[in-house]
Amino acid sequence: MDDLFDVIICGAGVHGLSTAKYLAEKQKKVLLVEQFPIPHSRGSSHGHSRIIRFSYPTSQHSQLMGESFRSWLKLEEDSGTKLFENCGLLNIGGDRFLTKVSSGLRSLGLEGQGLSASEINAKFPGLKTQKYDGVFEKTAGLLMADKCILALKDSALKLAVVIKECEKVNDIVPVNVSRVEVHTNNGKYRSKSVILTCGPWINKVLKPLNLKLPVSPLLIRVVYWKAKDPELYNAENFPSVIIDDKVHIYSTPILEYPGLMKICYHSGTEIDPDQRDKKLPNKDQTTADTQWETLVTAIKKYYPNIEPVPAVEERCIYSVTPDMDYILDRHPVYPNIIIGAGFSGHGFKCSPEIGRILGDMAIGNPMAYALGSFSLSRFNSSNL
């Protein structure tokens, strides 16, 4: 058995890597274990881009974004790699949604630009909206996700984080309040505490510890569509867009594949993450088909110069909680087992501060944020 680590982190997606970097900067001895190569395309952290914004409709996420944004820009500077594209973000929706978005911006001392439907249509000819107005956030944009993962990995290695790739966690063995063992297919490791950032595999890892979280792994179709006039949708002329119209549709400008724009439905169908590519049961396929029809209808409605036929389709997995919010908490029986889970398709951008929170929990530092809204206690005990 290897030497004692201060913290072992299981799962090296964006949250595991961010947590490892934070703890290593605190001079802690850290082991990071990942069942796949880093990066990989089997979970939630891969892909070309993620929207980053301050304009959350919930205050707790807006607060996380302040420091997270600064951390991403610092990583960009330190790595010498462009990680952020400042294309702005346009939120489109009803008055209630836009009021929450504007309030989130004001809580950080920022102001969004209110736009009527006709102003949106004039400012962004690639969009067409009649029913809804919008709020434009010029400070927002895109993170280059795959490049972020590589920059975080490189930073962690430079900080002496021990990274074990292609090792699957088979068992977490609590010894006492200051010792935990992690057993993998390749060895056994000891630490004072363990942080679980296992994405859609979280409940498989927690099952032997008699805990089941209300987290559902959802298969997400990440789809790119051909632009009839690409100039309308490039990142210099067109922002990322979030449309709150009964369901949640989002898009990013042409930046990844030439002439193709990403437009997606912000949900999916529940799957086993170890069988991601298996054919869906009939019931789930019906749900997926309905979601697809909704997406195509939205494209025809809001994006008049996009061909409503998919050009490229990729996949990822969301880990979704009932309230679409994070779980950042301790195991209710083993306090030195820390859980970061249920990021529900909107955790990537906040990962620097999520890493700080999880790291501080593991080493006993005071919390920088009130964590009530992220605690396990918000769920009915019968769900756990």
Phi-psi region of 325 (alpha: psi -120 to 50; beta: other; left: phi over 0): beta
**What pLDDT, on the 0 to 100 scale, is given for residue 7?**
98
Q: Which amino acid is at 349?
A: K
Considering the entire predicted model, what is its pTM? Answer: 0.95
- In the structure, what pLDDT confidence band is assigned to residue 382 with cuts at 50, 70 and 90? very low
Fold assignment, 4-45+147-213+323-383: FAD/NAD(P)-binding domain (3.50.50)
Q: Which residue has the higher pLDDT, 366 or 384?
A: 366
Fold assignment, 89-138+216-320: D-Amino Acid Oxidase; Chain A, domain 2 (3.30.9)
- pLDDT tens column, 137-146: 999 999 999 9
- pLDDT tens column, 214-252: 999 999 999 999 999 999 999 999 999 999 998 899 999
For residue 178, count CB atoms less than 10 angstroms from its CB and return exposed for 0-12, middle for 13-18, buried for 19 or more. exposed
**What pLDDT, on the 0 to 100 scale, is given for residue 384?**
55
Choose among 341, 367, 245: nearest CA to 302: 245
The mean per-residue pLDDT over the stretch 145-155 comes to 97
| Measured distance CA(345)–CA(222) in Å, rounded | 12
The sign one gets for the Cα dihedral 31, 35, 40, 45 is negative
Choose among 206, 162, 163, 212: nearest CA to 337: 206
- In the structure, what pLDDT confidence band is assigned to residue 277 with cuts at 50, 70 and 90? confident
Q: Is the pLDDT of residue 173 over 60?
A: yes
Q: Is the pLDDT of residue 186 over 50?
A: yes
Q: Is the pLDDT of residue 280 over 50?
A: yes
Q: Is the pLDDT of residue 333 over 80?
A: yes
HSE, side-chain direction, 13 A CA sphere, residue 296: 11
Q: Which amino acid is at 348?
A: F
HSE, side-chain direction, 13 A CA sphere, residue 78: 16
- DSSP calls for 200-218: GGHHHHHGGGT---S-EEE
| Measured distance CA(159)–CA(167) in Å, rounded | 21
**What pLDDT, on the 0 to 100 scale, is given for residue 383?**
47
**What pLDDT, on the 0 to 100 scale, is given for residue 57?**
73
Give the tokens for residue 28.
């802690």
Q: Is the pLDDT of residue 315 over 70?
A: yes
Domain ranges of the chain: 4-45+147-213+323-383, 89-138+216-320
Choose among 256, 230, 238: nearest CA to 312: 256
**What pLDDT, on the 0 to 100 scale, is given for residue 321?**
96
Q: Is the pLDDT of residue 296 over 70?
A: yes
Q: What is the dihedral of CA 55, 56, 62, 65, to 10 degrees?
A: -70
> Under a CB-based contact definition with an 8 Å cutoff, are residues 152 and 21 in contact?
yes
Choose among 89, 44, 310: nearest CA to 197: 44
